[in-house]
Structure 1
Amino acid sequence: MRYWQWAAMCVVLGMMTACADKPQVQMAADVIKTKEQNQSFAWQNKIISTKDNINQKCTNQCPQIEYQLISTPYAWIDSTINKAVLSILDSGEESAEGSPAAKRIQDFYAKPVVNDDELGEQLGRIKQNLDRLAKEVSGEQMVVVSAKPDFLGFYKDLPQMSVSGEIYLGGAHGMTSYFYYVFDLQAKRQLDLSDVVLPNQMPALQQTLQAQFDAMLRSQGADPAEHGQSWEFFVTRNFVFDKDGMEFLYQPYEIAPYVYGPISLRLDKQQMRALIKPQYL
C-alpha cells in the first residue's frame, strides 16, 4: 500500500487567525481511497518557516495569502507542485528582466528538485513583494492570492493532480487559474501532451478541439471566423484523463476574453482511439 503525505500550509495576514508560528504536524481524520488502486492517501499539515516570519501579522493594508504545499515520497513531484503553487503567489513579482534578482528567481523555478530551505526563502521574498503591492492598492481594495493543490486520483497507474489559484492585485477583477498535472511514476516525470498523442496526430487533435470550440462560440452568438482574428486557437498542454475521456482546460484570456472564463474542451473515448496512444486509453 502506497501512502502519500500532503503538507498543507495556510497563511492569512492581517486577519484574526493564522497558522501557528512554530512547525506543527497534524494528521487529518480523512483518508481517501481510490477504488481502482485500493491505495490510501494520508493528509497532514506542516509549516515551512521563512526568514522574515511569514506568519507575523501586519497592521496596515495587509495582503491575504492562502496556500498549500505537498510532501510525498516523491521529491520530484513535490517540487513540481510546490513550485507551481509559488508561481501563482509570485504573480506580482516585478524584478527587472536580466537582473541578478530575476536570475535567482528563474534558477529556482528551473531546478528539478527544490528543498524546504529554498521554498522558505522564496516564500519570504513573495510575502515581502505582496506586502509592497498591498500598500499600493487604492481605497478599500485588498491584495488577495491563493493557491491550492489537489489530488485527483489515479488514471491507470498515473497519479493526477491539480493546482488552482486566485489572484487579485487591485483593478476591475481578479484572475483564476487551474492547472493539471499527470505523473508517470516509472519514468519519474510529468507527462507532456506529446507523450500521449499518437505520432503525426497533433494537427488532427487541434482540428477536433477547434471544431468543438467553434461550436461553443456559435452557441453563444459569436462568429468563430471573426473571433479568430483577435484570438488564436492552439492546443493547450493543460490536460487530464478521466473515466469519460480527456479534458483540455484553457485559462481566461488564453483563447477568449475574460468574460468566457475558463474554457473546457474534451475528447471522448471514441475520439481518443484515433488520437491518443493505446496505453492511455
Structure 2
Amino acid sequence: MRKLFLFLILWSLALISCEKEEKLAFAPINYLSDSCANCPKVKITIPNALEDSKISKTINNSLKEEIIYLLTFEDGVDVSNIEDAIASFKNGYDLQKSKFPDETIGWEAKVEGEVAYEDENLVTIQLKSYIFTGGAHGYAPTRFLNFDKKKGLEMENLELFKDQDAFLRFAETKFRIQEQVPMGKPINSTGFMFDNNMFYLSENIGFTKDGLQLFYDQYEVASYADGPIVINLPFEEIKEYMAFKFIKKAD
C-alpha cells in the first residue's frame, strides 16, 4: 500500500511538471530613451522569452522587428536592434525640429507587450503602442503576434482557420449584431468605412484568455473619433472554424 501511495504521488508530480513545461518562460525587458530636454520620450516594455529554443528565438526576433518598424524614422539606414531604432526615432525628431524650430511639442513612443494567451499549441503576444510625432493626435495601434509552438514559427492570420470563408461569414454576423448593422443592409450603411462596402477581417487577430479577438484599429474601418472596434469571440463559438484540433483555455 505504501509503495502504491508513493507511486501515485510521483505520478501526480510528473503530470504537474509536464503541464508546467508546456508554458514558456518569459521575463519583462525594458528600453528607455535618454532623459534630456530635447529628447523624445521612449519607453518600451516587452516580454522576453528565456529558453534556448526555436520558438523563443522566433518570438524575441519578431518582437524586435515590430519595435524596429514602429520607431525607425530614417530612410536608407540599417537598423538591426531596438537601441538603434530608438536612436533613429530621436534622429527623426531632431530632423523635424531643425525644419520647424518653433515646434514645441515633443515626440513620444510607448510600447507595452504581454503574453495574451498560451496553450500547448500556440502563444499570442499583444503589443499596445502609442506613437506621437506631432499633429492633432497620436497613433495607438494594437498588434497581435501568434506563434505555432510546435513548429517554432510566427503564424499568418490565414493559418489560424481551417475554413476562412466560413469564419468570415460567422465574424460578419457577430460584427453586425454588436455594432447594430442591419442584416441584409450594406456593411457601411451605418457609417463604417470598409473598402468596397465589403466586410473583411481585421488586420490584427489574436487569442486572449476569453477567446479570439478581432481588433480593428482606429481608421481601419471607422473614423478616429469612433476609436478601435473590438470583437470578442468565445472559444466555444469559434472552435469549429479553427485550424487547431484542440485549444485549451489558458489559466
Same fold (TM over 0.5): yes
Q: How many residues align?
A: 212
* Aligned pairs for 1:127-276 within 5 A: 127-134=90-97, 136=100, 138-199=102-163, 202-218=164-180, 224-225=188-189, 227=191, 230-232=193-195, 233-276=199-242
1:11 to 33, 43, 66: 33
Aligned residue type for 2:90: K
Matched, 1:78 2:60: yes
Change (3 A) 1:177 1:134: farther
Offset at 1:165?
A: 0.6
Offset at 1:126?
A: 2.9
RMSD: 2.9
Matched, 1:65 2:28: no
- Runs of at least 4 residues off by over 4 Å: none
- TM-score normalised to the size of structure 1? 0.64
Offset at 1:69?
A: 5.0
Cα contact 2:121–2:150 (8 A) shared by 1: no
For structure 1, the residue ranges without an aligned partner over 5 or more in a row are 15-58, 96-100, 109-116
Change (3 A) 1:231 1:129: same
Offset at 1:253?
A: 0.6
Offset at 1:278?
A: 4.6
Partners of 2:101 and 2:125 lie apart in 1 by 33
Post-superposition Cα deviations, 1:151-186, rounded to whole Å, max 9, x if no partner, equal 224234422211111011111111111111222222
For structure 2, the residue ranges without an aligned partner over 5 or more in a row are 1-20, 182-186
Q: Which has the larger radius of gyration?
A: 2
Partners of 2:228 and 2:168 lie apart in 1 by 18
Partners of 1:163 and 1:137 lie apart in 2 by 33
Cα contact 1:209–1:266 (8 A) shared by 2: no
Change (3 A) 1:132 1:67: farther
Offset at 1:239?
A: 1.8
Secondary structure at the residue paired with 1:273?
helix
- TM-score normalised to the size of structure 2? 0.71
2:69 to 70, 82, 87: 87
Cα contact 1:214–1:224 (8 A) shared by 2: no
Change (3 A) 1:121 1:273: closer
